[in-house]
Structure 1
């Protein structure tokens, strides 16, 4: 495990961290670990799926216009025998 020292924290921030830690029943150090883990931990698997459904399910989603697919572009013409470009 790594160690991290944070200097120059405002007194009001430290006090709020102390109160928050007390409300959750653990130390300020543990509270800081929990906050940092949540802030940088990211989402994956089921949590990511659940969040995507909350954001984009039903009327919350977006509708994009699909591009026209009427015809293919013409195939390149390789019939010329121009070998000077090589």
Structure 2
């Protein structure tokens, strides 16, 4: 089963969650002083904003996308 891709519905819900939580990430990173979002911070956003779909299997996928997005943004902003 290893290497199996998530279903299209899961991918869409993960993408939706990423879009919904992304605006809240910079404030938490600033507040907590860390470079990348943590699972605890992600859960905090989901609870505070009353967002559904934050099951454990999806949280890892959401974190993966958020961290990849953050790395790309940081790399781009540092290269000038």
TM-score, normalised with respect to structure 2 = 0.26
* Structure with the bigger percentage of helix: 2
Q: Which has the larger radius of gyration?
A: 1
Greater relative contact order (CA < 8 Å, ≥ 6 in sequence)? 2
